[in-house]
Chains A and B, each alone.
Chain A
């Protein structure tokens, strides 16, 4: 732990701070001591004075006591009490002065003894006062008055009491002596006077004893003598007592008090001296201690500096040097302090790591320089390879375009001619052959289109359109294609679209159709029997106009294993190798589906169980205008009541609930019991028809409806196919066969009610476009004679007249010479002058308003762009389709009045 520099530096600093604090504390202590000492010294001087005053006071006290003893002077007594008070006050001062600072023995204890002596002294003085007073009393009353009384009594020479015979003179003499002795004793209290006194008393007693019965007054006289003696003895005792107190006890107390005072004075002086000595010593000690602390501090600081220098700064400098050298990438022979265990050691180790890293970096640099060189070489190689690859890709694209062109052109001829041929009268056998040729041609075109699409997608040349389209058209396209194929395999197809879906969406309808057709074709392809379910639903995604369209295609086909599921979206892959053998196909379909979906920011998922079927679910991010009608909704013509007999649940309840407010689900039995009549005008009945046999079961109910004049219709499944025509034939009512679009359902309902205001009819309309003939003159610029024939036949069938130019040059000449063409159909790839150049030239020549429509087997986006650039108004791909051509021409040409 101590190896850490932090700890070492902290320790050094702590010690320095400690020394500083120590110094401060010591100095403060010394100052405090000094201050206290000075105070003490000063106070001592004051106290010594007080003590001196005490001495003087005590001497005074003694003097006053002596005065009192001699004279009982009241003024002495008053002075006495004043002095006592003074002394007590002084003792009080001393008690709170320096004495507490002194040793108890030499200070407070002395004071306490002084107090004790003073108290004793006072007590004793009181006793003295008492004694002195008592002596006065005894002398005055007990002696003098008593003696006088006795003398008076004797002097009266009382004859009654027979005192005359007494030697009164002698007694009086002795009494006088007694009185004299008493006075002497008062003056000088000596035993001799007492003895004299007692001898005189004794003499009186002796005299009296010689006259025992002379008078009855004798005992009184003797008693008086006794009393005088007693009083005198008491007087001597009292005198002795207070003399003893004054001479011995009080003097002793005073002496002791003075002694203690002297002692105290000495002690205080000593304290003062000691204090001074201590102060001086303290100052000296402080000086020395400060010197030592300072010296030690300096030494320690120098030591610390050296320590820090040697231990930290020098190594840090060394390491800094090392680092600087490392930064400058200079060579490092050795790193100092690598063996140390403290932070410097860590730093040194870091430097070592740094050095090693530097070395490695240098190595790496060299290595990477080599690598860069190689990289550059590789890049060069890569560039050339890329160029080659790009060239190859370009070649491939050109090849593909060429292929496309080259295949489409003959195919165009084949398909067009077959289509035209089928319109001719021929034998059934020939017609069958031609139909097969047509189908095979269509198939071949699909394959070619797939390959082209895939190539376009791969080349990033496929664009997603953003145009508004009707969902119904999508449904129609899907069903038109799938229903036919399903019928071929006797499969059922069901389409269900959420009635709340908007009628129109914005997106790429062509590609959506392509996706759905791919999935549906696959579903039909891989399903041997059962049903293919197609379902649409969607929701607004909250953002302005954003709409998510969901679709699900579910089959009951062969299904896939999990392993197969993983790779089905890979191009050129089918679930397994056997698939293509069994089911055919390029294996591009799902790859195209997935890529198209991802181009539309959608996603596709698949779940499948082997031998049970597969489900493809997809969602597409589209847009929808707000506030538009739904694909299915109630209208004025909608029936008030619908009675539905769901024998096989062929109609979704949601469809029914959407078109009517009152939907009654009935059975064959229940429908005959319900009171249908009352609402016959606005009520319809719909029956599920399963088979011919089933019709027999339906009959009573149908008859009942007929009887009740309830209009009704049938719903049939895709299979059996013959059921629908038969129902129409038998009951003359509309029949709706699965699969159907929501719109078809709506029309069906209307038809039951007998409303056919809508132009759309479910009854097949024979070649609608044929009746719409166009009026105009067209220049067909086409080098290929077959294409010339096909296009020519189509134009003819559309009712337009046309002229042919073999190439661009010819076309320009023809137009310049005879500018009466309403539309130019311009092939792109032609000898002499291609379509682009011809168009450009024509535009340059001033034919700016002349509609020019490009024709090309090239189906690449760049072709459209090029066409646009060159000044073409429109661009259609080959093989030409009659309706596409008709629609295109209709933009510029008027319809013939029929």
Chain B
């Protein structure tokens, strides 16, 4: 709190003295620091803003049942979620999205720091967010690696030095790549033949989908262009304007040829793209692949030889949340790491930051398949109780460690972000 808004009182008082036209800002600032009356209700409701990835009804019901609180979910597209959160911290209590939104939120002071001491399972959280490496030989990955933005530094910025205040609760995370329909595209070999370059392969012209998010899709396309030798980047996590120009030149050309069929904004939409055969290859998130497989659509989640695009889920506490609601927000954060949710999302292909706590709640076959990269010894059910993994299947990309040792880049807000927005607009609307 202190670090989120340094000496707010003194600033406020000074400003009142000094500025005549403070009113508008004052209301805004006041809204941040004073608890809105709605929170005084006897049965508090925890308002969670996020994406479909983690805002699932089963989780909400389970949490309400376990914690005895009211929880409302507001699932939205990732961009919309971010915008809403950054501009209106008073409209939510907890924010669940990916790590690339942290810099934006933190700079706009929409979120407050989280007290490590109130996190029951902090010590169980694995090294990925603490040191950046799950194995000694792992890549850190370019861009906003989560360990770089977790800790709140004494100067109020986010950094790698460990402090007691963190910007987000590390929990759900995964690596993403692209999925392809093996009815159309021959199945490749993980880490060997499967390549980001396929996304720009002219063979699939008109049947390619990309996530509509510059902080995510841009990297998919950059990795693809780089894989195909069309563009090279000094640091793919921090592309220069010139590099962006070169990349978008390539992309716009392809777009003009109708290479891209669509730009999706949510997981269901990506499923829809693939299911309706609008695309045969597209940037994808893991649960979409699981869903499609359970609908007997043979989609393979690639393990690109160039490495994955990693993402890390972040649970952030709204700068406007205080008191009782803040307490239950902590309860909810602790619940997330208490085992059951981790096991639940494991069945959808996501990882939790303290997997050992979820392990007892998973069958051996499940653990072996989802975490250890071993063949499924029995058919595995998804959270919808339908078979999502057939017996003998092996998770593409292998074990948790293997996958997280091969992260090429993390979802990132680059310094050229503003410029990339303009280029992205030109790209998708061309």
Residues of A at the B interface (CB closer than 8 Å) are: 62, 105, 113, 120, 123-124, 127, 130-131, 134, 137, 141-142, 145-146, 149, 153, 189-191, 219-220, 223-224, 226-227, 230-231, 233-234, 236-249, 251-256, 259
The distance from the CB of B93 to the nearest CB of chain A, in whole angstroms, is 19
Q: Which residue, A223, A236, A242, A244, has most C-beta atoms of chain B within 10 A?
A: A244
- Asked if A246 meets B425 with Cβ closer than 8 Å, knowing A127-B84, A223-B11, the reply is yes
List residues of chain B with CB within 8 A of the CB of A247: 421-422, 424-425
List residues of chain A with CB within 8 A of the CB of B419: 190-191
CB pair B418–A256 under 8 Å, yes or no, is: no
List residues of chain B with CB within 8 A of the CB of A220: 14, 17-18
- Asked if A233 meets B107 with Cβ closer than 8 Å, knowing A256-B263, A259-B262, the reply is yes
**Residue B54 CB within 8 A of the other chain:** no
List residues of chain A with CB within 8 A of the CB of B10: 223
Q: Which residue of B lies closest to A227 (CB)?
A: B15
- Asked if A120 meets B276 with Cβ closer than 8 Å, knowing A233-B108, A240-B421, the reply is no
CB pair B25–A141 under 8 Å, yes or no, is: yes
**Residue B203 CB within 8 A of the other chain:** no
Interchain CA distance A233-B21 in the complex, whole Å: 19
Produce 1/0 per residue, B79-90, CB < 8 A to A: 110111011000
Q: Which residue of A lies closest to B425 (CB)?
A: A247
Question: Which residues from 395 to 430 on chain B have a C-beta closer than 8 Å to any C-beta of chain A?
Answer: 415-419, 421-422, 424-425, 428-429
Interface of A is mostly: helix
Q: Which residue, B21, B83, B419, B428, has most C-beta atoms of chain A within 10 A?
A: B83
Q: Which residue, B80, B269, B276, B415, has most C-beta atoms of chain A within 10 A?
A: B80
The distance from the CB of A241 to the nearest CB of chain B, in whole angstroms, is 5
Interchain CA distance A190-B421 in the complex, whole Å: 10
The distance from the CB of B143 to the nearest CB of chain A, in whole angstroms, is 15
CB pair A62–B429 under 8 Å, yes or no, is: yes
List residues of chain B with CB within 8 A of the CB of A236: 418
**Residue B214 CB within 8 A of the other chain:** yes
- Asked if A249 meets B80 with Cβ closer than 8 Å, knowing A141-B25, A191-B415, the reply is yes
CB pair A134–B87 under 8 Å, yes or no, is: yes
Q: Which residue, B25, B82, B214, B424, has most C-beta atoms of chain A within 10 A?
A: B25
**Residue B242 CB within 8 A of the other chain:** no
**Residue B24 CB within 8 A of the other chain:** yes
**Residue B19 CB within 8 A of the other chain:** yes
Q: Which residue of A lies closest to B214 (CB)?
A: A248
Q: Which residue, A141, A223, A224, has most C-beta atoms of chain B within 10 A?
A: A223
Cβ-closest 8 pairs across A and B: A247-B425, A252-B212, A237-B108, A223-B14, A249-B79, A247-B421, A241-B83, A251-B429
Pick the contact of A249 from B11, B15, B77, B107 — CB < 8 Å?
B77
The distance from the CB of A181 to the nearest CB of chain B, in whole angstroms, is 14
List residues of chain A with CB within 8 A of the CB of B87: 127, 130-131, 134, 237-238, 241
**Residue B394 CB within 8 A of the other chain:** no
Q: Which residue of A lies closest to B421 (CB)?
A: A247
- Asked if A231 meets B418 with Cβ closer than 8 Å, knowing A120-B80, A249-B77, the reply is no
Question: Which residues from 230 to 274 on chain B have a C-beta closer than 8 Å to any C-beta of chain A?
Answer: 261-265, 269, 272
- Asked if A255 meets B428 with Cβ closer than 8 Å, knowing A241-B87, A245-B79, A248-B212, the reply is yes
List residues of chain A with CB within 8 A of the CB of B31: none
- Asked if A105 meets B425 with Cβ closer than 8 Å, knowing A238-B87, A252-B263, the reply is no
List residues of chain B with CB within 8 A of the CB of A190: 418-419
List residues of chain B with CB within 8 A of the CB of A248: 79, 212-214, 421, 424-425, 428
Q: Which residue, B21, B80, B104, B418, has most C-beta atoms of chain A within 10 A?
A: B418
The distance from the CB of A243 to the nearest CB of chain B, in whole angstroms, is 5
List residues of chain A with CB within 8 A of the CB of B417: 191, 240
Q: Which residue, A123, A231, A234, A240, has most C-beta atoms of chain B within 10 A?
A: A240
Q: Which residue of B lies closest to A259 (CB)?
A: B262
Interchain CA distance A243-B417 in the complex, whole Å: 11
CB pair B429–A237 under 8 Å, yes or no, is: no
CB pair B263–A237 under 8 Å, yes or no, is: no
List residues of chain A with CB within 8 A of the CB of B18: 149, 153, 220, 223-224
Q: Which residue of B lies closest to A222 (CB)?
A: B14
Interchain CA distance A396-B39 in the complex, whole Å: 152
Interface of B is mostly: helix
Q: Which residue of B lies closest to A189 (CB)?
A: B418
The distance from the CB of B157 to the nearest CB of chain A, in whole angstroms, is 12
The distance from the CB of A233 to the nearest CB of chain B, in whole angstroms, is 6
The distance from the CB of B92 to the nearest CB of chain A, in whole angstroms, is 14
The distance from the CB of B197 to the nearest CB of chain A, in whole angstroms, is 24
Interchain CA distance A252-B411 in the complex, whole Å: 19
List residues of chain A with CB within 8 A of the CB of B214: 244, 248
Q: A241-B82, A247-B421 are in contact. List 20 more A-B contacts (CB 8 A).
A: A113-B272, A145-B21, A149-B18, A149-B19, A223-B11, A224-B18, A227-B15, A234-B109, A237-B107, A240-B421, A241-B86, A243-B421, A245-B83, A246-B425, A248-B214, A248-B425, A252-B212, A252-B263, A256-B262, A256-B263
Pick the contact of A244 from B19, B20, B421 — CB < 8 Å?
B421
- Asked if A244 meets B21 with Cβ closer than 8 Å, knowing A223-B15, A237-B108, the reply is no
CB pair A124–B80 under 8 Å, yes or no, is: yes
| Sample of 26 A–B contacts (CB below 8 Å) | A124-B83, A131-B83, A141-B24, A189-B418, A190-B419, A191-B416, A220-B14, A220-B17, A223-B11, A224-B19, A227-B15, A233-B107, A237-B86, A238-B108, A241-B82, A241-B83, A243-B422, A247-B421, A248-B421, A249-B77, A249-B212, A251-B425, A251-B429, A252-B212, A256-B265, A256-B269
CB pair B104–A237 under 8 Å, yes or no, is: yes
List residues of chain B with CB within 8 A of the CB of A130: 87
List residues of chain A with CB within 8 A of the CB of B109: 230, 234
List residues of chain B with CB within 8 A of the CB of A230: 109
CB pair B429–A231 under 8 Å, yes or no, is: no
Produce 1/0 per residue, B208-223, CB < 8 A to A: 0000111000000000
List residues of chain A with CB within 8 A of the CB of B261: 259
Interchain CA distance A255-B264 in the complex, whole Å: 10
List residues of chain A with CB within 8 A of the CB of B269: 256
Interchain CA distance A240-B421 in the complex, whole Å: 8
Interchain CA distance A545-B326 in the complex, whole Å: 133
List residues of chain B with CB within 8 A of the CB of A251: 425, 428-429
List residues of chain B with CB within 8 A of the CB of A149: 18-20
List residues of chain A with CB within 8 A of the CB of B421: 240, 243-244, 247-248
Interchain CA distance A249-B78 in the complex, whole Å: 9
The distance from the CB of A109 to the nearest CB of chain B, in whole angstroms, is 9
Interchain CA distance A245-B213 in the complex, whole Å: 10
The distance from the CB of B27 to the nearest CB of chain A, in whole angstroms, is 11
List residues of chain B with CB within 8 A of the CB of A239: 418
List residues of chain A with CB within 8 A of the CB of B77: 120, 249
CB pair B424–A255 under 8 Å, yes or no, is: no
List residues of chain B with CB within 8 A of the CB of A227: 11, 15, 19
Interchain CA distance A252-B421 in the complex, whole Å: 12
List residues of chain B with CB within 8 A of the CB of A120: 77, 80
List residues of chain A with CB within 8 A of the CB of B416: 191
List residues of chain B with CB within 8 A of the CB of A242: 83
List residues of chain B with CB within 8 A of the CB of A191: 415-419
The distance from the CB of A166 to the nearest CB of chain B, in whole angstroms, is 17
Q: Which residue of A lies closest to B10 (CB)?
A: A223
The distance from the CB of A393 to the nearest CB of chain B, in whole angstroms, is 125
The distance from the CB of B278 to the nearest CB of chain A, in whole angstroms, is 8
List residues of chain A with CB within 8 A of the CB of B24: 137, 141
List residues of chain B with CB within 8 A of the CB of A189: 418
- Asked if A249 meets B429 with Cβ closer than 8 Å, knowing A127-B83, A219-B14, the reply is no
CB pair B276–A234 under 8 Å, yes or no, is: no
The distance from the CB of B314 to the nearest CB of chain A, in whole angstroms, is 17
CB pair B83–A141 under 8 Å, yes or no, is: no
List residues of chain A with CB within 8 A of the CB of B428: 248, 251-252, 255
Interchain CA distance A113-B269 in the complex, whole Å: 9
Interchain CA distance A625-B367 in the complex, whole Å: 137
Q: Which residue of A lies closest to B13 (CB)?
A: A223
Produce 1/0 per residue, B378-394, CB < 8 A to A: 00000000000000000
